[in-house]
């Protein structure tokens, strides 16, 4: 026989100002099976919780309804209190009298009546609640980090340093990411390569880190603590164990005119190549798309010149499966290229370049060895224009967000230019200068005040070429909307940061949600910025939204801590609010008929097949079975199941039905 | 083949040349253009600055009349008229309440079923596909296609070509053997909005367009809007005065250029009516 | 006779609309107290039979609300729910069951004011439609030979 | 039906199948299902206008399965039922042989599931014209008229579940109507219980109904309950451009979605 | 009671109907859509038909309704209040124009419901029922009353049996006290019967039910059941249209604190009919259920209730979607 306790909270006056709490407690107290009912000023306070605990013990309660604020606020509090009093926490329900009643209605009888209805509904529900036990699953203490940019590197190192194994997967031939392309970094103007390279080397040498470059994640199965990941190691056409990295092949390769990705198309590379001199690993790969041998069937110059005979033209891709317990996604971002901008010539003008191209021009290791030269004719630009917010904050272009990093790097670009071309003139068209960050504003001021960068507040309407010059037409809004026309030698667009190519496919492969811009979605914008909605998968860096280096590194370390915390336990405890398929006595075994339509509605692949067999192994029946580790408890399968064979703990058919009945009928 | 046509005031007045070339071209391609009967002013340029209901009612009446007369497709050669009609159609589609009110005002049943096409769309749909074997005299000139503002904007409403860098006219020109130039001024403002009140601004803005086209070696500008044409052509003396130069670059309607290419005479397409002499025939 | 007070049941998902309704509370936006919320983990969990049960037990109106498309906490529960609602609505329309009495909406956790608006417009609409008499009559129609004690 | 008989004979003789499910002459001039296990008895197989029952319902029946591999005489609706049953993993393609019968009553050789799929693809998969007309008539009614129409029809229901039992897609061992915790559907055959039952049935067949009309035919009190599921079939095609029973792949409309599914009623 | 025979003229029949309807509920056959016949409460006399073969549903619902409330209850804080159904609310009903098979079925039902314990709901309803039967002048291939010991003019179960006469009038056989009271109350409407010629249909006897009953004793394990029930789809149509099937289910239905317990028709043809909670089902497959149906009516009931459980109305065969023709099967069973 159920013995239910009802605890009506006044929440100071938050509830009692509009709801007659005493009447609620009194009325509900008259319900069948309600053994105890009271109201109190603050149920969540220590005395309030003590009151509940003592009532549970004294009245031997089999379920309680705390009628207070939103369960999203205090359900854990009261469930914990119930557990402390020896009551299974899932026998505690909360009626939301504050957010859903007292705060939104006038003080009158109808409001109190509604409160009574809400409490009664939960009383009837809790009567049929089941005591649930937490689910425990083992943890595989190896992490997978996807993406070898600065965020991935940082995460991998941090996790590895806690003593756990890490697999780092990078799709290009070298780790380093966009940071390795940068010349100097704001706000200190220290050389990007100089601070990054040691970290790259550390990754390569760390005993806990296994590095797979030129590799991609193909598929993911399993759940937090127990993932199985499929990694495709693309063929490098090379035996890495034998290759010494001498680089002879790269110099002899006859195919030399392939646009260099690392140089953002401002230079060329051969078909067998190392992306950049400091690459890790520093061994070449053959780009099969451009290699003469793969295209025409003959050449093999590299094989001939290789002193160690390390070239393997017939080397296949290798797909490996690895057991891991957690994942950090650090796949980074990309930028819009100039061809995205019709008003700036659709990328037709060679001297309208994007920010990353400028980084390469300014980089000492870049195609011009650090000299700022026009791509069209190699001349030093005398007059350079930077356009901030190229694409960003422009809903008409489908990018309403601020790309965050452009204000700072544009200031940096202007400074770098001025430091190299002292007599040159640098102008920046900007919408607002967003320089929140340590030493950021000072940095921008320096650009303006010490390097005389001409900041023009306004947008650029069009850029066109005339007689080899670029005419930049814009507006100066600080001069009352005065049209401005600058005849420039070179224009740098601070193009919008966007999701990396392939992000959507990867998100789908990992079953992680992503936003409308294809950036990976965090579990909560404020309180869970590092987690995804899929337990055990975390985010680091610009794959979530454009970020600068310090932010990326911070988040990477944050993600690493999340992983380390997960790995600090041998077993995981999960809330048992998961689905289950009923089991009955043989010969039925379950009312499930095995149509498996539920499999296709499950977003988590949590529905498996279970065979019932005779002793000699003949299958009698195959029915659905829920993998409790994967199920997140959405219940979409429950509503689909025609024979009502699946149900959801905490929200069972019987409970939901009872709630509807209790809400609408007299008790 | 029967298509409706809404000429508007320009085509019966200052842009008779345009009108003649449109009809001549239509005739050459066996297209019967039927005027929307009892048409009225489209409301450009004044109405939409003064009275919203008026600015919608005027075009709505034209459209309703077209509907009533079974004209499913109506060609609107004047870019300003086209813009007014298209914007009205869009606004009334988006706002059924407004649609009802305007219907009451004009006292007609307006449904919004008429398909409006501008002259380039018309050429694209009915002329270009039938060009094969019709070019008697390839238009072997360097041309700068000038689209102006009303044909492509607001892009959300018109959803026609790419607003920043339209291409259709250039492609049409290539088809008749012309050599379209890279022309960054193709959608720049000619100053039409100020063509009566602030003529010096018109001279400045229009002059820039002509100057750039001439600078790039164009033999002629190609336009599809009577307003653009009058600013670039009729106002040439004031432009030359403002710029202290002597721009001689002719300004032709797209229909005129195609007309010549398919063997129509200069007179057929009304070239003699231009202020700036056209040395192309 | 007192004025007709509609009984409206709201079936909402925990992550968006329930949280949105919490925000309505936190923002102290007033709305009609005729609506009572039942919390579900996800709109995908909502069984269409529960909607019928609500009418059968005296509800005059129903609100079903969850996360906007693409915002589902469980990625796709609301998309499945949407398909079900489409078919359910078609069936109800076909059988002459008044779908004007059910509001389907997407209300996010951030749309506190919108929740109040959804509730108020629904309650106003139901108030105008009056009690759902035909359904109640249908539910109470006894078999001819049945002996009832009322 | 020489082909049908000789093919059945051949299959049984070679022991390729253990039973042939077809039609035979029944009592009082009716045709009825026949289960032939003896090759010498295949001569009793018939096919004519009276042979309208959806035989696919027997493929999931325990006693029929007991025979082993079955050959089944199949018109278009039966073929589509078989497709659905395969896609919902109730029947395995390797356990059945389909003896196709065209709309004109001609034997068609269905060598395998792919052939059947191709054949189905060539057919008109909409509802039968007669029913489609009735649907159109009903759809024109006002809400109240529709309500009254269905209330009148459903008041006749005696809850014998012939509609369910006759339907090949209602193969559940425990129907939701028999679930009593909670008791979703009132057990009694009063108006409420009847209405709930028929809504439940139609919803459970949404995207799965293959428009055979067997439920309406089976009803002893002549409720046109097949119109409910046929309306759903119609709407499924309307909204999602899908006809049920065209593929053996699991692709139920109600267990899948497209992010851009169109609707106009969600605020 | 001694049977009295009277003649009632066609025009007097309407008066009789109207007089009876004054303070009783009339339940009479009417034509429905799709050439079907159904019974209806208080139809206008003009609607009532006299030349039907068989209604789709039987008339057992008058005494054994689809739904019979048994008790009402209210849950209080600490206990429950139970209220009985007020049986006095059961109205007086005149069943008008039912054929002899249907009226005979009341005897069969009585043998079930009042076998040892008297079912008060059934008994009260029967008590309040007056049956005015109508002998058959039409029949079809499904009728087999003569095979189960009845005939088109069998008087079993009727208070008054109307037998059509060739001249269009009716012979009224007054069979019971209830019938007699009607005769007394409305004596002016009846005339003496003068041996006018009756118009009756002929129903061919298809089997000997005694022989069937005898054979069934040995037939439990016979493969006949499986062979002849493979096509049975296990619906309840046969049981629900049957005038003698009496199985019911008992359910509680609550709304809040108030609830009721009712019984409603059930069918032994359903798979769940005999399913145990343990998962075991003694009648696991349809052949066993079909066998149960036949054995119950033709073997167990003659043994226990001293009456056949079938009146030969043929409704089950007409309703069956898969042509499970009971007469055909019984005929076959006779010779196994």
Neighbours of A408 (CB within 10 A): 24
Q: How far is A327 from chain C (nearest CA, A)?
A: 19
Burial of residue A271 (number of CB atoms within 10 Å: 0-12, 13-18, 19+): buried
pLDDT at A42: 95
- Identify which has the larger pLDDT, C75 or A126: A126
In a 3-state reduction of DSSP, which class is residue B33?
strand
Within 13 Å and on the Cβ side, how many CA atoms surround A13? 2
Q: Which CATH superfamily is domain A142-234+317-332+500-567 in?
A: FAD/NAD(P)-binding domain (3.50.50.60)
How many CB pairs lie under 8 A apart between chains A and C? Answer: 134
The minimal CB distance from A342 to the residues B165, B182, B185 is found for B165
CATH of domain A4-132: 3.40.50
A579-649 carries CATH number 3.40.800.20: no
Do the domains A579-649 and A142-234+317-332+500-567 match in fold? no
CATH number of C8-140, picked from 3.40.50, 2.40.128, 3.30.70, 3.30.43: 3.40.50
Is the dihedral angle over the CA atoms E41, E42, E43, E49 positive or is it negative? positive
CB A428 within 8 A of CB A414: yes
Which domains does chain B show, CATH number per domain? 2-120 (1.20.1050.140), 134-273 (3.40.50.11810)
pLDDT at C1: 43
CA distance E201 to E36: 20
E162 Cα distance to chain centroid? 18
CA distance between the termini of chain D: 57
Burial of residue C126 (number of CB atoms within 10 Å: 0-12, 13-18, 19+): buried
Q: What is the mean pLDDT of chain A?
A: 94
CB D211 within 8 A of CB D233: yes
Does the pLDDT of residue C150 top 90, yes or no? no
CB D255 within 8 A of CB D242: no
DSSP D45: -
Q: A450: which 2 tokens?
A: 């010490």
Give the model confidence (pLDDT) of A560-580 as tens digits. Answer: 999 999 999 999 888 899 999
pLDDT at B268: 92
pLDDT at D3: 86
Within 13 Å and on the Cβ side, how many CA atoms surround D219? 19
C33 interface with A at CB cutoff 8 Å: yes
pLDDT at B2: 86
Q: Please count the residues of chain A.
A: 667
Confidence tier at D20 by pLDDT (50, 70, 90): very high
DSSP B271: G
Q: A45: which 2 tokens?
A: 């306070």
Predicted model pTM: 0.72
Under an 8 A CB cutoff, do A585 and E279 touch? yes
Q: E300: which 2 tokens?
A: 């167990």
CB A520 within 8 A of CB A512: yes
CA distance E133 to E97: 5
A588 interface with E at CB cutoff 8 Å: yes
Give the model confidence (pLDDT) of A421-468 as tens digits. Answer: 999 999 999 999 999 999 999 999 999 999 999 999 999 999 999 998
Report the residue of chain A nearest D86, measured CA to CA. Answer: A595
CB A221 within 8 A of CB A228: yes
Closest CA to A375 of A462, A288, A492: A492
pLDDT at E59: 96
Closest CA to A263 of A191, A380, A367: A367
CA distance B162 to B143: 20
Confidence tier at D1 by pLDDT (50, 70, 90): low
pLDDT at A634: 94
Neighbours of C110 (CB within 10 A): 12
Q: Measured at the alpha carbon of residue E306, what is the angle toward residues E304 and E312, in degrees to the nearest 5?
A: 110
Peptide bond into A103 cis (omega under 30): no
Q: Which of A464, A467, A468, A491 to mutate to test the interface with B (most CBs of B within 10 A)?
A: A464
Confidence tier at A9 by pLDDT (50, 70, 90): very high
pLDDT at E106: 96
DSSP E26: E
pLDDT at E258: 93
Q: Domain-by-domain residue ranges, chain E? A: 1-63+74-205, 207-336
Q: Which of C141, C143, C145 to mutate to test the interface with E (most CBs of E within 10 A)?
A: C145
Overall average pLDDT of the A409-430 stretch: 96
Closest CA to C134 of C89, C104, C87, C101: C101
Closest CA to E50 of E158, E173, E169: E169
Q: Hey, what's the torsion of the CAs at E94, E97, E101, E103, to 10 degrees? A: 20
The minimal CB distance from B164 to the residues A342, A466, A471 is found for A342
Q: Which of C64, C85, C90, C148 to mutate to test the interface with D (most CBs of D within 10 A)?
A: C90
Which residues of chain C have a CB within 8 Å of the CB of E125?
145
Q: How far is E66 from chain A (nearest CA, A)?
A: 25
Q: Please count the residues of chain D.
A: 267
CB E243 within 8 A of CB E313: yes
CB E12 within 8 A of CB E189: yes
Interface of A with E in 432-451 (CB under 8 A): none
Neighbours of A663 (CB within 10 A): 24
DSSP A527: T
Does the pLDDT of residue D8 top 60, yes or no? yes
CB E283 within 8 A of CB E273: yes
CATH number of A334-498, picked from 3.50.50.60, 3.40.50.1970, 3.40.190.10, 3.30.565.10: 3.50.50.60
Which residues of chain E have a CB within 8 Å of the CB of C144?
41, 61, 65
CA distance A286 to A250: 10
- The ranges of chain E with pLDDT < 50 are none
CA distance A43 to A562: 33
pLDDT at C2: 63
DSSP H or E stretch at residue E69: strand E67-75
- DSSP lists the bridge partners of residue C62 as C9, C102
Measuring CA to CA, how many Å separate C88 from each of A636, C79, E207?
A: 16, 14, 52
Q: Domain-by-domain residue ranges, chain C? A: 8-140
pLDDT at E1: 66
Interface of E with A in 239-278 (CB under 8 A): 255-258, 277-278
Overall average pLDDT of the A11-28 stretch: 95
Is the dihedral angle over the CA atoms C69, C74, C80, C85 positive or is it negative? negative
Closest CA to E152 of E208, E197, E109, E102: E102
CA distance A474 to B249: 28
CA distance D166 to A247: 76
The label of the residue with tokens 């600013």 reads: B231
D241 interface with A at CB cutoff 8 Å: no
Give the model confidence (pLDDT) of A307-324 as tens digits. Answer: 999 999 999 999 999 999
Under an 8 A CB cutoff, do C73 and A72 touch? no
Under an 8 A CB cutoff, do C74 and A632 touch? yes
ipTM of the complex: 0.75
Q: Domain-by-domain residue ranges, chain A? A: 4-132, 142-234+317-332+500-567, 248-305, 334-498, 579-649
Q: How far is E218 from chain C (nearest CA, A)?
A: 41
Residue partners of B5: CB distance under 8 A and separation at least 6: B22, B33, B34, B35, B36, B74, B75, B76, B77
Under an 8 A CB cutoff, do E233 and D218 touch? yes
CA distance B73 to B5: 8
Overall average pLDDT of the B174-189 stretch: 92
Q: How far is E148 from chain C (nearest CA, A)?
A: 30
In a 3-state reduction of DSSP, which class is residue A7?
strand
CB A562 within 8 A of CB A531: yes
CB B241 within 8 A of CB B280: no
CA distance E120 to D241: 58
Peptide bond into D157 cis (omega under 30): no
CA distance A367 to A362: 9
Q: A282: which 2 tokens?
A: 């520093």
CA distance E20 to A471: 106
Q: B155: which 2 tokens?
A: 């892009």
């Amino acid at each position: 026989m159920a013995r239910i306790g009802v605890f009506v909270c006044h929440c100071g006056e938050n509830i009692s100002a509009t709801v007659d709490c005493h009447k609620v407690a009194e009325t509900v107290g008259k319900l069948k099976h309600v053994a105890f009912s009271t109201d109190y000023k603050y149920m969540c306070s220590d005395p309030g919780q003590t009151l509940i605990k003592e009532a549970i013990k004294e009245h031997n309660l089999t379920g309680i309804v705390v009628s207070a604020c939103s369960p999203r606020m205090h359900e854990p509090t009261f469930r914990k209190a119930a557990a402390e009093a020896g009551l299974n926490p899932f026998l505690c329900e909360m009626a939301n009298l504050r957010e859903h009643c007292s705060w939104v209605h006038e003080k009158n009888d109808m409001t109190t009546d509604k409160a009574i209805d809400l409490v009664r509904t939960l009383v009837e529900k809790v009567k049929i609640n089941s005591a649930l036990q937490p689910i425990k699953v083992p943890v595989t203490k190896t992490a997978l980090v996807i993406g070898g940019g600065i965020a991935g590197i940082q995460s991998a190192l941090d996790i590895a340093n806690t003593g756990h194994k890490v697999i780092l997967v990078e799709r290009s031939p070298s780790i380093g990411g966009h940071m390795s392309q940068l010349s100097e970094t704001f706000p200190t103007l220290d050389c990007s390569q100089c601070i990054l390279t040691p970290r790259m080397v550390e990754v390569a040498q760390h005993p806990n880190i296994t590095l797979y470059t030129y590799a991609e994640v193909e598929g993911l199965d399993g759940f937090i603590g127990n993932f199985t990941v499929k990694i495709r190691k693309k063929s490098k056409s090379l035996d890495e164990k034998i290759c010494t990295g001498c680089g002879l092949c790269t110099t002899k390769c006859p195919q030399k005119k392939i646009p260099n990705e690392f140089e953002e198309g401002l230079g060329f590379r051969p078909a067998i190549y190392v992306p950049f001199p400091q690459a890790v690993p520093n061994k070449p790969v053959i780009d099969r798309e451009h290699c003469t041998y793969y295209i025409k069937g003959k050449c093999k110059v590299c094989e001939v010149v290789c002193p160690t005979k390390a070239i393997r033209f017939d080397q296949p891709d290798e797909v490996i499966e690895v057991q891991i317990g957690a994942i950090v996604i650090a796949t980074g971002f990309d930028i819009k290229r100039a061809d995205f901008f019709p008003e700036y010539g659709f990328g037709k003008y060679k001297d309208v370049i994007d920010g990353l191209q400028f980084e390469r021009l300014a980089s000492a290791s870049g195609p011009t060895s650090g000299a700022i030269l026009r791509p069209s004719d190699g001349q030093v630009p005398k007059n350079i224009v930077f356009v901030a917010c190229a694409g960003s904050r422009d809903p008409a272009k489908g990018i309403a967000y601020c790309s965050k990093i452009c204000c700072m790097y544009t200031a940096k670009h202007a400074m770098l230019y001025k430091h190299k071309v002292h007599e040159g003139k640098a102008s920046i068209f900007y919408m607002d200068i967003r320089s929140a960050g340590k030493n950021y504003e000072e940095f921008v001021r320096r650009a303006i005040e010490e390097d005389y960068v001409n900041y023009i507040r306004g947008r650029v309407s069009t850029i066109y070429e005339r007689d080899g010059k670029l005419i930049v037409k814009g507006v100066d809004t600080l001069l009352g909307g005065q049209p401005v026309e600058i005849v420039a030698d070179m224009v740098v667009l601070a193009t919008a940061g966007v999701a990396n190519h392939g992000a959507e496919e990867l998100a789908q492969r990992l079953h992680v949600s992503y936003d409308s811009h294809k950036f990976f979605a965090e579990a909560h914008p404020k309180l869970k910025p590092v987690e995804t909605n899929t337990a055990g998968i975390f985010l680091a860096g610009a794959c979530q939204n454009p970020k600068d280096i310090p932010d990326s590194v911070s988040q990477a370390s944050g993600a690493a801590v999340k992983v380390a915390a997960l790995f600090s336990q041998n077993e995981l405890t999960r809330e048992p609010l998961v689905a289950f398929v009923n089991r009955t006595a043989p010969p039925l075994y379950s009312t499930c008929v095995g149509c498996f339509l539920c499999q296709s509605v499950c977003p988590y692949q949590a529905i498996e097949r279970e065979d019932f067999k005779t002793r000699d192994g003949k299958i009698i029946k195959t029915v659905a079975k829920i993998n409790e580790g994967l199920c997140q408890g959405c219940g979409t399968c429950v509503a689909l199941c025609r024979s009502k064979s699946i149900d959801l703990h905490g929200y069972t058919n019987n409970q939901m039905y009872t709630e509807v009945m209790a809400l609408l009928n007299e008790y | 083949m029967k298509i409706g046509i809404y000429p508007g005031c320009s085509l019966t007045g200052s842009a008779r040349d345009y009108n003649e070339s449109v009809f001549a071209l239509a005739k050459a391609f066996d297209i019967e253009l039927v005027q929307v009967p009892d048409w009225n002013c489209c409301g450009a340029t004044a109405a939409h600055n003064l009275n919203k209901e008026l600015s919608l009612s005027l075009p709505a009446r034209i459209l309703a009349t077209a509907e009533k007369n079974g004209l499913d497709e109506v060609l609107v050669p004047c870019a300003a008229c086209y813009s007014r009609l298209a914007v009205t159609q869009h606004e009334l589609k988006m706002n059924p309440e407004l649609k009802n009110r305007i219907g009451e005002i004009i006292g007609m049943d307006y449904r919004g079923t008429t398909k409006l096409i501008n002259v380039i769309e018309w050429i694209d749909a009915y002329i270009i596909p039938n060009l094969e074997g019709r070019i008697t005299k390839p238009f072997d000139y360097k041309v700068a296609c000038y689209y102006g503002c009303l044909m492509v904007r607001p892009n959300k409403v018109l959803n026609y070509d790419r607003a920043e860098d339209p291409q259709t006219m250039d492609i049409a020109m290539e088809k008749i053997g012309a050599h379209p130039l890279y022309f960054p001024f193709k959608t720049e403002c000619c100053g039409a909005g100020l063509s009566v009140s602030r003529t010096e601004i018109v001279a400045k803005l229009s002059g820039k367009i002509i100057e750039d086209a001439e600078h790039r070696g164009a033999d002629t500008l190609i336009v599809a809007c009577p307003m653009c044409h009058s600013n670039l052509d009729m106002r040439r003396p004031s432009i030359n005065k403002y710029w202290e130069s002597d721009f001689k670059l002719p300004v032709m309607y797209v229909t005129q250029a195609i007309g010549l290419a398919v063997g129509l005479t200069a007179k057929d397409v009304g070239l003699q009516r231009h202020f700036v002499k056209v040395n192309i025939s | 006779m007192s004025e007709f007070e509609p009984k409206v049941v709201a079936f909402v998902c925990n992550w968006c609309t329930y949280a949105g309704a919490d925000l309505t509370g936190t923002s102290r936006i007033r709305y009609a107290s005729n609506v009572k919320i039942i919390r579900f983990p996800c709109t995908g969990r909502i069984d269409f039979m529960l909607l019928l049960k609500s009418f059968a037990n005296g509800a005059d109106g129903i609100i079903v609300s969850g996360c906007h498309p693409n915002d589902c906490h469980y990625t796709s529960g609301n998309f499945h729910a949407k398909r079900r609602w489409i078919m359910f609505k078609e069936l109800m329309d076909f059988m002459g069951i008044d779908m004007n009495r059910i509001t389907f909406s997407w209300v996010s956790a951030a749309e506190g004011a919108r929740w109040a608006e959804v509730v108020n417009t629904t309650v106003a609409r139901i108030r105008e439609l009056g009690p759902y008499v035909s359904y109640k009559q249908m539910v109470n129609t006894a078999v001819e030979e049945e002996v009832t004690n009322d | 039906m020489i082909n049908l008989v000789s093919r059945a004979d051949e299959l049984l003789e070679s022991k390729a199948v253990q039973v042939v499910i077809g039609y035979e002459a029944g009592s009082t001039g009716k045709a009825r299902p026949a289960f032939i296990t003896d090759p010498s008895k295949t001569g009793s197989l018939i096919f004519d206008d009276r042979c309208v029952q959806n035989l696919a319902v027997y493929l999931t029946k325990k006693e029929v399965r007991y025979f082993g591999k079955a050959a089944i005489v199949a018109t278009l609706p039966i073929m589509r039922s078989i497709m659905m049953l395969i896609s919902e993993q109730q029947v395995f393609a390797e356990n059945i042989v389909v003896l196709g019968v065209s709309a004109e009553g001609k034997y068609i050789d269905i060598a395998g599931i792919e052939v059947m799929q191709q054949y189905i693809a060539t057919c008109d998969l909409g509802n039968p014209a007669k029913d489609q007309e009735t649907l159109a008539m009903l759809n024109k009614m006002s809400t109240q008229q529709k309500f009254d129409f269905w209330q009148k029809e459903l008041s006749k229901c005696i809850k014998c579940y012939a509609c369910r039992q006759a339907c090949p897609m209602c193969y559940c061992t425990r129907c939701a109507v028999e679930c009593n915790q909670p008791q979703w559907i009132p057990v009694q055959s009063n108006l409420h219980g009847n209405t709930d039952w028929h809504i439940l049935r139609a919803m459970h067949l949404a995207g799965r109904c293959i428009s055979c009309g067997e439920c309406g035919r089976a009803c002893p009190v002549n409720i046109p309950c097949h119109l409910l599921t046929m309306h759903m079939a119609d709407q499924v095609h309307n909204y999602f451009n899908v006809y049920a029973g065209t593929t053996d792949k699991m692709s139920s409309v109600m267990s899948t979605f497209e992010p851009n599914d169109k609707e106009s009623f969600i605020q | 009671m001694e049977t009295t025979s009277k003649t009632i003229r066609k025009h007097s029949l309407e008066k009789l109907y109207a007089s009876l309807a004054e303070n009783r509920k009339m339940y009479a056959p009417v034509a429905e859509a799709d050439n079907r016949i159904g019974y209806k409460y208080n139809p206008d006399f003009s609607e009532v038909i006299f030349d039907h073969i068989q209604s789709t549903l039987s008339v057992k619902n008058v005494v054994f309704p689809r739904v019979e409330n048994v008790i009402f209850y209210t849950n209080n804080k600490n206990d429950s209040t139970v209220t009985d159904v007020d049986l006095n609310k059961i109205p007086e009903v005149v069943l008008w124009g039912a054929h002899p098979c249907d009226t005979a079925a009341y005897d069969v039902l009585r043998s079930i419901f009042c076998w040892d314990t008297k079912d008060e709901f059934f008994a009260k309803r029967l008590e309040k029922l007056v049956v005015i039967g109508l002998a058959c002048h039409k029949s079809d291939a499904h009728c087999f009353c003569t095979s189960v010991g009845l005939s088109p003019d069998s008087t079993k179960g009727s208070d008054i049996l109307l037998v059509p006469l060739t001249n269009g009038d009716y012979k009224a056989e007054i069979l019971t006290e209830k019938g007699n009271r009607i005769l007394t109350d409305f004596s002016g409407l009846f005339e003496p019967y003068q041996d006018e010629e009756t118009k009756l249909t002929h129903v061919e006897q298809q089997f000997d039910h005694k022989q069937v009953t005898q054979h069934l004793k040995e037939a439990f394990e016979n493969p006949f059941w499986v062979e002849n029930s493979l096509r049975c789809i296990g619906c309840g149509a046969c049981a629900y249209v049957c005038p003698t099937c009496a199985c019911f289910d008992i359910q509680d239905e609550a709304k809040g604190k108030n609830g009721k317990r009712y019984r409603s028709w059930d069918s032994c043809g359903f798979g769940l009919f005999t399913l145990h909670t343990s998962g075991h089902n003694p009648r696991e497959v349809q052949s066993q259920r079909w066998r149960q149906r036949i054995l119950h009516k033709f073997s167990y009931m003659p043994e226990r209730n001293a009456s056949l459980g079938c009146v030969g109305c043929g409704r089950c065969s007409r309703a069956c979607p898969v042509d499970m023709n009971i007469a055909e099967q019984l005929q076959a069973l006779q010779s196994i």
